[in-house]
Amino acid sequence: MGLYRSATSLAVVALAAAAAVQCDEESTAAQDCKCFPGDDCWPTAAEWSEFNSTINGKLVATVPLAAACHDDKWASYDEATCTKMQNGWLDPETHYPDSASIMAPFFANRSCDPFTERSAGCVIGTYVQYTVNVSEAADVAAGIKFANDRNIRLVIRNTGHDYNGKSTGAGALGLWMHHLNDIEFKDWDDEHYSGKAIKMGAGVLGGEAYKAADAQGLQVVGGECPTVGIAGGYSQGGGHSALSSRHGMAADQTLEWEVVTGTGEHLIANRENNTDLYWALSGGGGGTYSVVLSLTSKAHEDVPTAGANLTFTSAGVSQDAYYEAIATFHASLPKSADAGVMSVWYFTNETFAISPLTGPNVTAEQLKEFLTPLTDKLDELNIKYTSFFGDFDSYLSFFNNMFAPIQVGIAQYGGRLIPRSVVENNNTALTDAYRSITTQGAQFIGVALNASLATAGNPDNAVNPGWRDTLIDTVITTPWNFTAPWEDMIANQEQMTDVFMPTLAELTPNGSAYLNEADFRQPDWKDVFYGANYPKLEAIKNKYDPNHLFYAITAVGSDYWEPQDDGRLCKA
Ligand SMILES: Cc1cc2nc3c(=O)[nH]c(=O)nc-3n(C[C@H](O)[C@H](O)[C@H](O)COP(=O)(O)OP(=O)(O)OC[C@H]3O[C@@H](n4cnc5c(N)ncnc54)[C@H](O)[C@@H]3O)c2cc1C
Ligand SMILES: *[C@@H]1O[C@H](CO)[C@@H](O)[C@H](O)[C@H]1NC(C)=O
Ligand SMILES: *[C@@H]1O[C@H](CO)[C@@H](O)[C@H](O)[C@H]1NC(C)=O
Ligand SMILES: *[C@@H]1O[C@H](CO)[C@@H](O)[C@H](O)[C@H]1NC(C)=O
Ligand SMILES: *[C@@H]1O[C@H](CO)[C@@H](O)[C@H](O)[C@H]1NC(C)=O
Ligand SMILES: *[C@@H]1O[C@H](CO)[C@@H](O)[C@H](O)[C@H]1NC(C)=O
Ligand SMILES: *[C@@H]1O[C@H](CO)[C@@H](O)[C@H](O)[C@H]1NC(C)=O
Ligand SMILES: *[C@@H]1O[C@H](CO)[C@@H](O)[C@H](O)[C@H]1NC(C)=O
Ligand SMILES: *[C@@H]1O[C@H](CO)[C@@H](O)[C@H](O)[C@H]1NC(C)=O
Ligand SMILES: *[C@@H]1O[C@H](CO)[C@@H](O)[C@H](O)[C@H]1NC(C)=O
Ligand SMILES: *[C@@H]1O[C@H](CO)[C@@H](O)[C@H](O)[C@H]1NC(C)=O
Ligand SMILES: *[C@@H]1O[C@H](CO)[C@@H](O)[C@H](O)[C@H]1NC(C)=O
């Protein structure tokens, strides 16, 4: 069963198969399909080498990270190296320094998997074939020109965190932004914002920015995982943060983008010049409008920050009582979010964990009060719990103490933004929906915030408008199993699309999802991921990338292309 069209009708599959045959025969002539490795049009080694010399030797040929786990053209099997890969495969640190690896196993497609049999082999498969190790604008322009001239798929990649495989592509040349890691602090002053700013190279990781900001007495809006980038898919896709109830979304912080467009132009986009591009990059999704070289964002005065965590289980507790406690917690969220608190919590039908509450300029004592409805309810229901409340003198020290490392490659994802009104007016139906989903074996991950326009200072940008009245960004996951039959993983994704997501959609008619944490097979994804912004975003995409070079699954304009079963892009 193919990767992308697993649930399409047989008729559509048959049509696509016919199209694929046609592509193989006519790809270079009609350019209806991208040139693919093995085709006559694919550059020879000498041609790649020639291209390499035009970019001062910055071309990297992909060597799959887990090559030592198989006998292949890159390495013979090496038990020690392979074991090291297996042990580290769930850590983001194993993947983000690599030029081609990605963290989402569904999109890695077991191309070179450290958990499959030694004899299963290793191919580049869905990983990019080569990358340009970018250190300046000219490298990006050269990569764009080569991909355009040679009709090769192009992918922009930063850390490889993307859950929906947007930073990889079969038969692609990658523009690898990871080594652009300069950080500079500035004073900004215009009619919209006056204060400190941080200019970050495209490769800067959240954790690097937090540390640099801390040294200046500042705090920066970034993700809850310190290895997610800031200027890439995160801020471009909206970006929620432990600081979002205080400052808004990451995309609400942007002041200026430095980019190379799809025609190789080096531009600055801000509120004065190339304003349409500035608007689109600020929330309209990564990997499709231009290649970002750097982002300048607001940096805020640092504040003491309180943290809390709390856990309980369903052991010895009726399921009714267990979910009643969870519903009580959800009902308490509007009040804490309005006080600047951001909450992260996880539950299955058996375990519940707040991990953590973030209270910037809020005290541990106040966090305790916000959780009183929950702790009173737990006492009333005789449910034992453990908790921790602490005051930290900076955001960085809070962050380092309260956020546990996050593993990758452990799940498949779906998501829905739950408006505050649903919690306030229909908490019973919401709890029933969560109960139904988790009782079928899925896990819930929640992020509660107030990222309203008022919180964010009324920015005009492309953030999905659904975020503005959201209380709970709900993420649903099903477990990934590296050694289970592939069909089982497809079945899990179908359960996500056909059962779990509709259960939440029913409660949120015309609702939204966070494009970075959603089901890649979401029906009506244009509306659900981008809302009313879609048509305007598509026009901007076509203006700055008129040759449709930038493609990423579910990105704006991506329906221009249709990936085939082998990953080759053909015109839809
Ligand atoms: C463990 C983990 C924790 C996460 N935590 C959070 C969180 O707290 N908050 C949150 O909002 N999200 C979170 N996410 C989701 C995260 O925002 C997305 O995965 C995001 O796409 C990562 O962006 P990246 O640039 O680091 O990664 P990549 O996977 O490298 O890139 C993602 C997308 O951005 C594009 N892109 C990257 N760099 C550029 C560039 N320079 N110019 C143009 N396009 C570019 C790529 O083409 C791709 O489409 C998390 C994900 C993981 C795996
Ligand atoms: C590109 O050139 C550099 C420097 O000569 C070399 O180290 C690198 O291996 C080359 N890349 C490819 C893909 O040949
Ligand atoms: C990529 O370029 C950086 C410098 O910008 C260099 O430090 C790094 O070693 C290069 N990586 C590879 C794999 O070529
Ligand atoms: C906009 O572009 C003009 C002309 O290049 C330049 O003078 C001006 O400084 C730019 N404004 C901003 C805010 O970048
Ligand atoms: C922090 O909160 C106090 C009172 O709760 C307030 O007086 C102060 O201005 C706040 N500081 C910042 C930087 O928001
Ligand atoms: C809660 O946070 C404290 C302080 O960092 C930590 O010691 C404890 O292990 C955490 N508890 C849980 C369940 O995460
Ligand atoms: C939780 O759900 C799993 C998977 O559906 C099920 O096997 C288990 O019995 C459930 N646990 C409880 C306490 O109901
Ligand atoms: C969210 O926070 C803003 C800014 O503090 C506040 O104006 C608003 O009332 C809060 N609540 C909602 C539902 O937006
Ligand atoms: C993963 O799948 C394999 C093969 O079906 C199975 O033996 C194993 O128990 C599964 N692991 C988990 C944790 O479910
Ligand atoms: C609550 O949700 C249910 C189920 O989706 C729906 O039928 C009902 O109309 C909703 N009630 C309110 C008050 O929105
Ligand atoms: C959903 O959107 C459609 C079309 O914009 C509209 O007709 C309908 O009333 C909306 N439904 C709800 C519940 O908002
Ligand atoms: C994924 O792997 C399968 C099995 O090896 C292969 O048939 C398929 O073409 C691959 N899909 C992509 C998109 O590479």
Residue 514 near residue 446 (C-beta atoms within 8 A): no
Pocket test for ligand 4, best of 194, 255, 272 (most atoms within 8 A of CB): 272
As beta bridge partners, residue 433 has none
Q: Same structural domain for residues 221 and 107?
A: no
- Nearest atom within ligand 9 for CA of residue 485: 5
Cα 26 from Cα 14, distance rounded (Å): 19
Which pLDDT belongs to residue 279?
99
Q: Which residue's alpha carbon is at the smallest distance from atom 10 of ligand 12?
A: 566
Residues 343 and 411 in one domain: yes
Which phi and psi angles does 503 have, rounded to 5°? Answer: -60, -40
Ligand 11: does its nearest atom lie under 6 Å from the Cβ of 316? no
Phi-psi region of 554 (alpha: psi -120 to 50; beta: other; left: phi over 0): left
Q: 78 exposed, middle or buried (CB, 10 Å; 0-12, 13-18, 19+)?
A: middle
pLDDT score recorded for residue 16: 42
Tell which phi-psi region holds residue 494, choosing left (phi > 0), alpha (psi between -120 and 50) or beta. alpha
Between the CA of 440 and the centroid of ligand 12 the distance, in Å, is 29
Quote the ligand 7 centre to 110 CA distance (angstroms): 30
Listed in sequence order, the residues at least 6 apart from 278 whose beta carbon sits closer than 8 Å to its beta carbon are 254, 256, 257, 269, 270, 271
Q: Which H/E stretch holds residue 13?
A: helix 10-30
State the Cα–Cα distance between residues 129 and 169, nearest whole angstrom. 9
For residue 266, the domain's CATH number is 3.30.465.10
Q: How far apart are CA 283 and CA 556, in angstroms?
A: 11
Domain shared by 405 and 509, yes or no: yes
Q: Could you tell me which of 102, 82, 262, 258 has the C-alpha nearest to residue 169? A: 102
User: Which atom of ligand 3 has the smallest separation from the CA of 180?
Assistant: 5
Q: Which domain holds residue 281?
A: 183-302
Residues 484 and 368 in one domain: yes
**Rounded-to-integer distance, Cα 221 and Cα 233, Å:** 14
Residue 555 included in any domain: no
C-alpha 373/C-alpha 409 separation (Å) is 35
* Average pLDDT over the chain, rounded to an integer: 95
Phi–psi pair at 114, nearest 5 degrees: -75, -10
CA dihedral sign, ordered 184, 189, 190, 196: positive
- Inter-residue contact 240 to 473 (CB < 8 Å): yes
pLDDT of residue 428: 98
Shared domain check, 268 and 367: no
- Residue 2 lies inside a defined structural domain of this protein: no
For position 312, what pLDDT does the model report? 98
Ligand 5, CB cutoff 6 Å, lining residues: 301, 303, 361
Cβ atoms 330, 430 nearer than 8 A: yes
Q: Are residue 189 and residue 167 in the same domain, yes or no?
A: no
* CA 273 to chain centroid: 28
Among 264, 287, 302, which residue terminates a domain? 302
| Cβ-Cβ contacts under 8 Å for 365 (sequence gap 6 or more) | 389
Q: Is the CB of 463 under 6 A from ligand 1?
A: no
The type of residue at 35 is C
Q: Which atom of ligand 10 is nearest to the CA of 421?
A: 14
Residues 270, 345: one domain? no
Q: How far apart are CA 123 and CA 227, in angstroms?
A: 27
Residues in the chain predicted with pLDDT less than 70, given as ranges, are 1-30
Task: Give the model's pLDDT for residue 31.
Answer: 72
Residues 472 and 397 in one domain: yes
- The number of the ligand nearest the C-alpha atom of 354 reads 6
Domains in the chain: how many in total?
3
Rounded to the nearest angstrom, the gap between the alpha carbon of residue 464 and the centroid of all alpha carbons in its chain is: 15
CB contact set of 302 (below 8 Å; sequence gap of 6+): 213, 214, 217, 218, 219, 394, 395, 396
Judge residue 136's burial from the number of C-beta atoms within 10 Å of its C-beta, 0-12 exposed, 13-18 middle, 19 or more buried. Answer: middle
> Are 240 and 95 contained in the same domain?
no
Would you give the distance in Å from CA 381 to the centre of its chain? 38
Of 281, 302, 323, the residue at which a domain comes to its end is: 302
On whether both 393 and 326 belong to a single domain, the answer is yes
Give the whole-angstrom CA distance, residue 530 versus residue 556.
8
Ligand 12 binding pocket includes 553 (Cβ within 6 Å):
no
Residues 155, 201 within the same domain: no
Q: In angstroms, what CA-CA distances link 5 with 88, 165, 370, 488?
A: 31, 15, 46, 15
* Residue pair 78/68 in contact by the 8 Å Cβ criterion: yes
pLDDT of residue 29: 40
Same domain, 409 and 285: no
Q: Which of 473, 431, 210, 465 is nearest to 343 (CA)?
A: 473
Ligand that comes closest to the CA of residue 506: 10
CA 66 to chain centre: 23
The CA distance from 65 to 4, in Å, is 24
Which residue lies with its CA nearest to atom 6 of ligand 2?
57
Within-domain flag for 20: no
**Ligand 8, closest atom to CA 337?**
1
pTM of the model: 0.95
